[in-house]
Structure 1
Amino acid sequence: MMRAWLLPLSFVLCGSLVAAGMFSDGNPLGASALLLLFVVLAAAHSPLVFPRPTGALEAQRLSEADGRPIVYWRAGCKFCLRLRLRLGRRAGQLYWVDIWRDPAGAAVVRAANDGNETVPTVFVAGSAFVNPDPAWVREQLSPSE
């Protein structure tokens, strides 16, 4: 679980160090703006921007019952972030499995990707799609949701 927070923590730490240097050089406005930028980058690359993760086994059970796609992802993945942001509010209609939190989810992704943990891997009706176009994923959601 800590691995998911290493990149965001690195952003905050680096931003804080650079901002402290700028502040000590007499540029408090620039330091504040830079620190804000690094905090936004940290938030964007953290698990906080993703819907609450579901366990792989629970997601599979629920997906079989209602047909919703399952997204296997990990924090810090720019392609996962792109998918999440492009789905907007509809992202909550999918089941999100964080492969760094769920070993069963990581195993599912490795089985679908020749042993690699390539994410995002989206399962729709039992078929795996690696890094699909967000518009295509949106089409897989039922219009009534």
Structure 2
Amino acid sequence: MLESLSVPKRRVAAQFVLPGGSSRKVAVFLAEAVPGREGGERLSDLLNGSGPRFIPAHDAETDAMTFVHRENLALARVAAEHEPNVVDPFNLPTEHEVELRLVDGQALHGIIAYVLPEAHSRLTDYLNSAPPFFPLLEEGGQHVVLVNKHHVAYVETLRR
């Protein structure tokens, strides 16, 4: 009887990086379906949601369940296939190639892409309105880094 009440989940490999740079390879458990959107739950949904502050994850190295306080994560890295860019299909996104520096000195390079109304489409508008974890497509496009903006020291645009 209780099994019929459980929500089907899928395991998704991710890397959680803490302030200071220590990292853990984990598997997170995401819902197969979410209301109002195709494709199931994304890690960004879990990190930016209003749900529990502690995220359950299976640690790949220790084979133990661990519970990570999401607000203290500096970033989470996941394969791009698990974090599709959900943008308005009728508008071209604004893209900026950036170097992003965390307060602990970690540097990231990649592309920030978003769709905002033209009157408010500057990168600063996006950064100030983005959810707590915003996506950065790493160079090569293989991974998406969900960056906790509370740990960002600066974002610098690069020439393309």
Normalised by the shorter chain, which TM-score bucket?
Answer: under 0.3
**Rg larger for:** 1
- More strand per residue: 2
**Higher share in helix:** 1
What is the TM-score normalised by the length of structure 1? 0.25
With structure 2 as the length reference, what TM-score do the two structures score? 0.23
